[in-house]
């Protein structure tokens, strides 16, 4: 870093290890770093230290990263904010960019990715400051006409050419009189093609320029005659439509409108992330449907047995009633049959309820998840499949185990995937063990799925969590189960460990943070 002054960074993360490691790395790069363990303390630190850049985790107790971002942009809009996200948080990352975050980086944080994000943040900060200083200078000089103002801007074009956002200014007739380099890159038009020849209406999709001007007149976000975070479509050259976010302001001089300046931000990358997020959701649901297909055949047999029993008991009860008034012995038989019918009906209901819950497509809903209930439901759904595969199974959960904060349906999908993998690894039968315990020192809940199957070859172990990697024969899997499971666990701020020996079996261990008392 070659800046003449020292850049100050406030780093906000609830994990002390991450704060320590990143502080050392950033200070080694020449930054002054101040750290905070939650959003509220981070905002207080920003008030005291006036940093140019803030790096914040999205998921934190007390105050999350999006709330920090919104509050900072209200208090000190000149501060550049970089958000740190985990797998599956693309929707939050997109929302952060829409709220004018400078950039986002993935956790675990890669040094090169962080370096590039900081470089972009410094450039944005410098460009914003230069434009703000120049605007203040123009206001101080009280330019007499919009033409004089625009000539001054043209004369000092190097000040706005460094802007990462596209800048386009129009006169009172709507003709474009200023068009920076970033605007050329976004639109595909050159200055020669645009300046004095095109209007704002020609740059935007049909009706969008009128909608933008109406929004400017309304007292919405930014106030009257000012507009921020307005999303529209730019007609780029040649024949392309580019989603953009526009901030705009009407230029006024002595109470009269003298033109309009617009700042364009290219949303194509955000839209790509949205599609990527949708693809992740589709893959997640596809994997669940594959598991559901395997369960369905098993559950049909599982339900058929109690239904046959219920039918037989009802026939016996009907015969007893048909013989006339019940004797004492007959009444006892009738009551015993009725109790059996009730038990078998309850068993069917439990199986169907668990299957319906698992199959339901719903957005993630984080809440307190009881680990014992989670494993019991997984056993109910997969019990008959294990019996058909000649697999002995057991489930052991510590009595004092606390709940975790997560989405019950997604965690159930993880365990079902691991059980099915274990069954596939034991084609001739074997032993499957489910267990859960609590590591009080780390405040982590551990869920173990162990089998006595074929094991995983050492050369395959590094790749088992990669999408579409599979060791199964063609037609028996597409390699999404473990990849999906890994992504879900990471989204829950957890980890997955695997221990395996060929011919001796495999143990998967999922570690999840225990839920705190106030969640």
At residue 280, the pLDDT reads 59
Pairing type for strands 430-439 and 391-397 reads parallel
Pairing type for strands 444-451 and 430-439 reads antiparallel
Contacts 24+ apart (CB under 8 A), 194-203: 199/170, 199/173, 199/174, 199/175, 200/168, 200/170, 200/174, 200/176, 200/260, 200/262, 201/174, 202/235, 203/168, 203/176, 203/234, 203/235
Q: Under DSSP, is residue 256 helix (H, G, I), strand (E, B) or coil?
A: strand
Gap between the Cα atoms of 206 and 265, Å rounded: 19
Q: Are 152 and 175 in contact (CB under 8 A)?
A: no
pTM across the whole model: 0.41
CA distances from 101 to 49, 73, 326, 475 (A): 20, 9, 79, 45
Percentage of the chain lying above the pLDDT 70 cut: 77
In 3D space, the residue among 81, 164, 179, 94 whose CA is nearest the CA of residue 124 turns out to be 164
Gap between the Cα atoms of 47 and 54, Å rounded: 12
Gap between the Cα atoms of 388 and 97, Å rounded: 51
- According to CATH, the topology of domain 142-266 is Beta-Lactamase (3.30.450)
CATH class of the domain at 273-513: alpha beta
At residue 452, the pLDDT reads 93
Cis peptide upstream of residue 238 (ω within 30 degrees of 0)? yes
Q: Give the sheet arrangement for strand 53-57, strand by strand.
A: 32-36, 8-12, 53-57, 80-85, 103-106
First to last CA, the chain: 42
At residue 476, the pLDDT reads 38
The residues spanned by each domain of the chain are 8-129, 142-266, 273-513
At residue 475, the pLDDT reads 37
Q: Under DSSP, is residue 470 helix (H, G, I), strand (E, B) or coil?
A: coil
How would you classify residue 476: left for phi > 0, otherwise alpha for psi between -120 and 50, otherwise beta?
alpha
Q: Under DSSP, is residue 120 helix (H, G, I), strand (E, B) or coil?
A: helix
- Alpha-helical regions (H) of 195-267: 200-203, 208-217
Q: Helix %, strand %, coil % for the chain, to 5?
A: 50, 25, 30
At residue 343, the pLDDT reads 72
Gap between the Cα atoms of 265 and 237, Å rounded: 17
Gap between the Cα atoms of 223 and 211, Å rounded: 16
DSSP class of residue 54? E
Token pair for residue 7? 């850049």
CA distances from 88 to 227, 283, 486 (A): 31, 12, 11
Q: Under DSSP, is residue 442 helix (H, G, I), strand (E, B) or coil?
A: coil
Gap between the Cα atoms of 261 and 253, Å rounded: 14
At residue 480, the pLDDT reads 43
Token pair for residue 367? 């809440």
Regions of the chain short of the pLDDT cut 50: 4, 143, 468-469, 473-480
Q: Are 384 and 422 in contact (CB under 8 A)?
A: no
CATH number of the domain at 8-129, please? 3.40.50.2300
DSSP secondary structure letters along 194-208: HTTT-BHHHHB-TTH
DSSP secondary structure letters along 287-341: HHHHHHHHHHHHHHHHHHHHHHHHHHHHHHHHHHHHTSS--HHHHHHHHHHHHHH
Gap between the Cα atoms of 437 and 203, Å rounded: 61
Gap between the Cα atoms of 348 and 373, Å rounded: 18
Q: Are 245 and 229 in contact (CB under 8 A)?
A: yes
Rounding to the nearest 10 degrees, give the CA dihedral for residues 140, 142, 148, 149.
50
Sort 402 into a burial class: Cβ within 10 Å, 0-12 / 13-18 / 19+. middle
At residue 43, the pLDDT reads 92
Which residue in this structure is represented by tokens 């599609």? Answer: 275
């Amino acid at each position: 870093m070659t800046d003449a002054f020292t850049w100050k960074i406030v780093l906000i993360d609830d994990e002390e290890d991450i704060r320590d490691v990143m502080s050392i790395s950033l200070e080694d790069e020449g930054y002054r770093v101040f750290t905070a363990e939650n959003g509220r303390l981070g905002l207080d630190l920003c008030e005291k230290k006036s940093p140019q850049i803030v790096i914040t985790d999205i998921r934190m107790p007390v105050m999350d990263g999006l709330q920090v971002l919104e509050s900072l942009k209200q208090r000190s809009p000149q501060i550049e904010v970089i958000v740190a996200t985990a797998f599956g948080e693309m929707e939050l990352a997109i929302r952060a960019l829409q709220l004018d975050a400078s950039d986002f980086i993935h956790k675990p944080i890669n040094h090169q990715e962080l370096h590039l994000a900081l470089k972009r943040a410094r450039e944005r900060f410098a460009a914003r400051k230069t434009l703000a200083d120049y605007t203040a200078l123009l206001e101080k000089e009280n330019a007499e006409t919009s033409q004089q103002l625009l000539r001054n801007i043209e004369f000092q074009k190097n000040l706005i050419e460094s802007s990462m956002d596209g800048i386009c200014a129009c006169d009172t007739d709507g003709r474009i009189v200023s068009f920076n380099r970033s605007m050329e890159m976004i639109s595909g038009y050159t200055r020669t093609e645009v300046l004095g020849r095109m209007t704002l209406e020609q740059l935007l999709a049909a009706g969008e320029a009128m909608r933008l001007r109406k929004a400017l007149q309304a007292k919405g976000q930014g106030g009257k005659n000012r507009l921020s975070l307005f999303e529209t479509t730019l007609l780029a050259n040649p024949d392309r439509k580019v989603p953009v976010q526009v901030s705009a302001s009407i230029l006024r001089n002595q109470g009269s409108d003298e033109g309009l300046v617009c700042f364009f931000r290219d949303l194509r990358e955000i839209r790509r992330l949205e599609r990527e997020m949708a693809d992740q959701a589709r893959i997640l649901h596809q994997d669940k449907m594959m598991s559901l297909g395997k369960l369905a055949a098993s559950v049909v047999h599982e339900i058929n047995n109690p239904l046959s029993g219920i039918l037989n008991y009802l026939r016996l009860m009907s015969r007893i009633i048909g013989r006339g008034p019940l004797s004492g012995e007959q009444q006892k038989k009738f009551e015993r049959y009725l109790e059996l019918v009730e038990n078998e009906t309850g068993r069917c209901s439990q199986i169907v309820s668990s299957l319906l819950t698992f199959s339901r497509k719903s957005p993630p809903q984080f809440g307190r998840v009881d680990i014992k209930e989670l494993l019991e439901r997984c056993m109910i759904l997969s019990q008959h499949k294990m019996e058909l595969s000649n697999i002995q199974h057991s489930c052991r959960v510590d009595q004092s185990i606390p709940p975790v904060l997560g989405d019950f349906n997604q965690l159930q999908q993880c365990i079902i995937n691991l059980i099915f993998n274990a069954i596939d690894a034991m084609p001739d039968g074997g032993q499957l063990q489910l267990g859960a315990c609590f590591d009080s020192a780390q405040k982590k809940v551990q869920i173990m799925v162990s089998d006595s199957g074929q094991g995983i070859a050492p050369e395959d172990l590094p790749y088992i969590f990669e999408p579409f990697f599979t060791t199964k024969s063609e037609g028996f899997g597409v390699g999404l189960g473990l990849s999906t499971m890994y992504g879900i666990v990471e989204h829950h701020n957890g980890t997955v460990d695997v221990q395996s020996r060929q011919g001796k079996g495999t143990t998967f261990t999922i570690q999840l943070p225990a839920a705190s008392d106030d969640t």
